Amino acid sequence: MNPTPKPGILDISPYVGGRAGVPGMAKVVKLSSNESPIGPSPAALAALDQAKASVALYPEGSAALLREAIAEVYKLDAARIITTGEGSGALLTMLAGAYLQPDDECLFGRHAFLLYEIAARANSARPVMVPERETNNGIKLDVDAMLAAVTPKTRLVYVANPNNPTGSYLNREEMARLHAGLPKDVLLVIDSAYAEYVTAKDYEAGIALASTFDNVVMTRTFSKLYGLAGLRIGWMYASAAICDVINRIRGPFNTALLQQLAGAAAVRDREHFWKSVEHNNKWLPWITAEIRKAGLRVDDSVANFVLIHFPSGEKSAANADAFLTKSGVILRGVGSYGLPDCLRMTVGTEDENRLAVSLLQQFMAT
């Protein structure tokens, strides 16, 4: 007889990321994982070389040099920052492990990051998917529906802001209203993985709420704009009390020295930061407009990707995906997010963007 896992584990569908290749093709255009087309800062790459001399040694356990670099750039208290070398998803999982008990309820949007459901079920808690609403600009988290879903069993609320894969966001006032409507013993986790790309003036990444309230956590990543997805560096900002809890359960030496050095160099390289922002600001609206010209619905996005809607029949998302794949262009199917008629496209290099858009236009014209 096999050992029996705790309730909820076998109800989890394993996470499957975007495809990275096409059988038989040596070179592909991968626009499926929201990676940076600019790549990492040269300073970050130089820091990796610096770290080679110390790979035989354990890193400093609190990741002080990375926490201090983040604190310097974002003007935060370094003591209230926790880092991880397993991506911000590890922090999202640890927060669930620390605060969810069997039969508790965990709320998140219907089209939110799949890890939220996984984290809830892994702790024998009940995942509650809250319906999102259609707007003139796309699909958006419904604050009223989220608050209406709160019950005495609610313990944790995940909000991706901006949300992946819809590209929509809650503005400062909407997020404040959501928080104000939650009981004080409910933890609000704001997953701000794409915050660096947002230029909307009414957006706030979660720093203000996490700085002010004891029941708010903001998580961030170096995998997107900073171009360090392969290093899996994540961080969170929260109250001293929550940080104390997470520091008790995180793994020892959980952020390697090479991750600390590369992350510190990357976050301090503001020239490279703004180069990445400017690239996205140029190509995100171009991609949106050009695909719309082909007759497809493209939702407004503030991140580094767009959600493309396809009709049923011959012009379906599945057929579009197959057509693109034949030319080595990989987008992300998002059926597992409850959006079977959509594909998500990451902003790539100029050549990648033009090729993908051209193929979509050809597909719709044939």
| Predicted model pTM | 0.96
Give the domains, in start order, of the chain with CATH numbers.
Answer: 17-39+271-365 (3.90.1150.10), 42-268 (3.40.640.10)
**Could you tell me the pLDDT band of residue 79, with boundaries at 50, 70 and 90?**
very high
Cite the DSSP H helix spans in the chain. Answer: 42-51, 64-74, 88-99, 115-122, 143-148, 172-181, 207-212, 240-249, 257-268, 270-293, 317-326, 350-365
| pLDDT, tens digit, 9 for 90 and up, residues 130-143 | 999 999 999 999 99
The per-residue pLDDT for range 82-120, each reduced to its tens digit, is 999 999 999 999 999 999 999 999 999 999 999 999 999
Whether residue 150 has pLDDT greater than 90: yes
Under the banding of pLDDT at 50, 70 and 90, the label for residue 25 is confident
Distance separating alpha carbons of residues 7 and 327, to the nearest angstrom: 44
Longest dimension (CA), the chain: 59
Q: Which of 212, 192, 215, 216 is nearest to 203 (CA)?
A: 192
Q: How many CB atoms lie within 10 A of CB 307?
A: 27
What was the pLDDT predicted at 303? 98
- Sort 147 into a burial class: Cβ within 10 Å, 0-12 / 13-18 / 19+: middle
CA 36 – CA 20 distance, rounded (Å): 14
CB atoms within 10 A of CB 53: 9
Structure tokens at 256: 């390697």
- Provide the token pair at 18: 């975007």
Q: State residue 12's pLDDT score.
A: 86
User: What pLDDT digit, counting tens, does each position of 270-301 carry?
Assistant: 999 999 999 999 999 999 999 999 999 999 99
Select the more confidently predicted residue: 304 or 24.
Answer: 304
Amino acid identity for residue 221 in this structure: T
Q: What is the pLDDT of residue 212?
A: 98
Mean pLDDT (the chain, rounded): 96
The CA–CA distances, whole Å, from 289 to 24, 87, 355 equal 33, 33, 15
Q: What are 221-242's pLDDT values in tens digits?
A: 999 999 999 999 999 999 999 9
HSE-up of residue 29 (Cα within 13 Å, Cβ side):
22
Tokens representing 257 are 């020295």
Is residue 320 within 8 A of residue 357, CB to CB? The reply is no
